[in-house]
Amino acid sequence: MASTAGTETRFGTRRGGRSAAAMVTALGLVTTAAACGGGSSTEGGGGATVVLAVAADPGTLSPTTALAGTALSMNSFAYDTLVHIEADGSLVPGVAEKWSATPTSVKFTIRPGVTCEDGAPLTADDVAAEYNHIADPKNQSPMLGLSVPVTAVAEADRASRTVTVTTTKPAPFIVQMSRLLPLLCKKSLATPEALAKATDASGPYRLTEAVPGDHYTYVKRDGYAWGPRGSTGAGLPAKLVFKVVANESTAANLLMAGQINAALINGADQDRLDAAEVNRETTQALFGQLLFNQAAGHPGADRAVRKALVSVLGLKQLANVATGGKGRPATGIGETAPTPCTGDTVTGNLPAHDTARAAAALTAAGWAKSGGTWTKDGKPLAVGLSYPTNQGPQVASAVELAVQQWMSFGVKASAKPTGSSSILGTLTGGDWDVAWAPIGVVLPDQLTQFYDGPPPPKGNNFGSIANADYHRLAAQASAKPGVSGCDLWNAADAALVKNVDIVPIANRPLQYYGKGITFEVDGAGIIPSTLRRSAG
C-alpha cells in the first residue's frame, strides 16, 4: 500500500537544513506493502473483518516520525488529513472544510465535530500545534519538507476554527502537502514516542492490539463523519488486521486458496492470478531511470558523452527487460499519481537510438576510437553503472544489457551492483558514474532538492546537476500557487530530460489483486475510504 518496490526504507536524513523526507519513493527503495483482505467473516459492509497483509513490520507508527512505507499505509487508516486528492489530482475537503492559499500561506477552516479516539475534539489549536511541532528543528521530524514546509509557522483562531500557515520561502503546493499530514490531538505531541505502537486517531480506525512482526488489529470508530467530502465510516469493515506476510509468492498462494482477499503482486505470480481472472486494480510508478554523475572527473560531466551513451542504448528494449514486458515507456520524471501536474515530459526529449550519431557526437567532442575503444587525452571512455540489487533479477538483466551495448560501441563499461540499502550511500559518496536511480515524489517541487542546489554533503543533488533552464523554470513555478504553475513545472522537468541529466526509462504497473473485497488505489496504495467487503 506504499508505492514502488524495494526495501522498506524512507529517508529522513537532513543535509544543510533540508529534509530528504520528500524522497517518498526515492530510488525505488520503498517497499510496496502487500495489501490483503481476508478472515473468516462473510458479513458485508460494516460488519466484516478484513485482514491486510503487509510486506514488513512497520516499526514505529508515531505519525510525526514514521516514514516506513508500511507505517504510512497503516496510519492512513487511523489518522485523517486536512484534504484528500482525487485521481485527476484535484483536492477535496477532509478535516478542512475549505481553504485559501498563496505560494507562501494557507488558511484552513477546520470542520466542526471532528474528534480524536478518546472523544476529545480535534481543533484548530491541535492542527496548528502539530504544524509547529514538525517545523521546529529540535524535534527532528522527518515529515518536515514532506507534509510541512521547512519554514512553516502556524497560528490558530479558535473562534473562526481557522489555522493559518505561513512560510518565508515559496511553498507552491502547501495545500497538497497537507494531505500527507496525519492529524492527532495536541496532547500527544508531548510524548510522540508513546504512539509507536498505539494511536491517537483522528481517522476511521483505532489501534487495539500490536504484536510486532506478526499482526496489528484496528477497530472502526463510532461516529466518524469527516472523510473525503464528508464521507462517513458507514460500510467500512468493522475490523482490520494488518498481518505481516513477507513473501509475495506466499501472499499469492493464500489469495488463490481463498485465505486472504487481496494482495499486491508485482512479480511472476501475476501470470497465474491473471489466468485465474482474479480482479485487480492498477496504478503506475516510475521504475527505471538513469542518473548521470556530472561532478568533475566523471564522464557524465560532458553533455556530448551523456547524449552519446544514451543514443547507443535501446531504451525500449531495456524497459521491456527490466519490467518483464509489463511496463510502459516513462512519460514523467517521478511525480507519482495522483499528482497535481500531469503531462508527458519525456517523449521526444531524449536522444534517439542512433549509434552513428553517437559516434559523430563523440568525435566532435574530441574523442577518437583506438583499438576498438573511445579515448581522449590518452584515457579510455569508461563508465560504471550502479544499481540496487533489491529491484530484482530483471533489473540486473537490463543493466547487463546496457553494459553490453556500451561495450559493443567501444566504451569500457561495467555493472556495479549495490545492496538495497547502499545505493543511497553510493550516490552520496560520489564514487559512481551512472546509476539506475528512479526517484519518486508526490509533488513536482519536491524534486528540486535532487536536481538543483548543492550536492552531498550539503544537499541532495546527487548528480551535481547544474541545469540553468531547470533552475529558472522551477523558480518561476515556485512563485505560482498549486496547479497554476504546472506548465512551468512540466517545462522544468522536460529541461532535465532534454539535457540528458536524467533518463526516465520505464513505468511499472503496481497490481493489487482482490477477492471478496472492493477498493480503489492510488500511488500510495489502497484508499481507506473505498475499502468494502463484497461477495466472492
| Residue (of 173, 232, 250) closest to 444 by Cα position | 173
**pLDDT score for 258:** 82
**pLDDT score for 408:** 97
Rounded Cα gap, residues 399 and 388, in angstroms: 10
CB 266 within 8 A of CB 513: no
Rounded to 5°, angle at Cα 205 from 529 and 239: 90
pLDDT class of 320 with cuts at 50, 70, 90: very high
For 140-152, what is the mean pLDDT?
91
In Å, what is the CA distance from 56 to each residue of 264, 397, 419? 13, 26, 18
User: pLDDT higher for 446 or 373?
Assistant: 373
**pLDDT score for 262:** 81
**pLDDT score for 5:** 32
pLDDT greater than 90 at residue 145: no
Rounded Cα gap, residues 51 and 73, in angstroms: 14
Residue 179 parent element (H or E)? none
pLDDT greater than 80 at residue 306: yes
Give me the residues paired with residue 393 across strands. none
Mean pLDDT value across the chain: 88
In Å, what is the CA distance from 107 to each residue of 156, 157, 158, 174, 340? 10, 10, 13, 10, 19
For 175-185, what is the mean pLDDT?
94
**pLDDT score for 420:** 53
**pLDDT score for 56:** 79
pLDDT class of 245 with cuts at 50, 70, 90: confident
**pLDDT score for 46:** 54
Print burial letters for 399-422: b (CB count within 10 Å at least 16), e (below 16). bebbbebbeebbbebebbebebee
For 362-385, what is the mean pLDDT?
96
CATH class of 285-507: alpha beta
Highest mean pLDDT among 41-50, 89-98, 465-474: 465-474
User: pLDDT higher for 422 or 449?
Assistant: 449
**pLDDT score for 162:** 98
For 399-422, what is the mean pLDDT?
91
| Residue (of 452, 473, 471, 470) closest to 462 by Cα position | 452
pLDDT digits (tens, 9 = 90+) for 332-354: 999 988 889 989 999 999 999 99
pLDDT greater than 90 at residue 536: no
pLDDT greater than 70 at residue 18: no
pLDDT digits (tens, 9 = 90+) for 30-75: 333 333 333 333 334 556 888 887 777 899 999 999 877 789 889 9
User: pLDDT higher for 293 or 245?
Assistant: 293
Rounded Cα gap, residues 155 and 163, in angstroms: 6
pLDDT greater than 70 at residue 317: yes
**pLDDT score for 52:** 82
**pLDDT score for 212:** 95
Q: Which CATH number fits domain 33-265: 3.40.50.300, 3.40.190.10, 3.60.15.10, 3.30.70.2200?
A: 3.40.190.10
**pLDDT score for 51:** 87
User: pLDDT higher for 260 or 475?
Assistant: 475
User: In the chain, what is the straight-line distance between the N-terminal and C-terminal CA atoms, in Å?
Assistant: 22
**pLDDT score for 224:** 95
**pLDDT score for 6:** 33
Cell numbers of 357, please?
550519431
User: pLDDT higher for 380 or 14?
Assistant: 380
pLDDT digits (tens, 9 = 90+) for 128-139: 999 999 999 999
Percent with pLDDT over 90 in the chain: 67
Rounded Cα gap, residues 385 and 51, in angstroms: 41
Q: In the chain, list all ranges with CATH 3.10.105.10.
A: 285-507
Q: In the chain, list all ranges with CATH 3.40.190.10.
A: 33-265
**pLDDT score for 36:** 35
User: pLDDT higher for 526 or 129?
Assistant: 129
pLDDT greater than 80 at residue 216: yes
Threshold 0.85, pTM exceeds: no
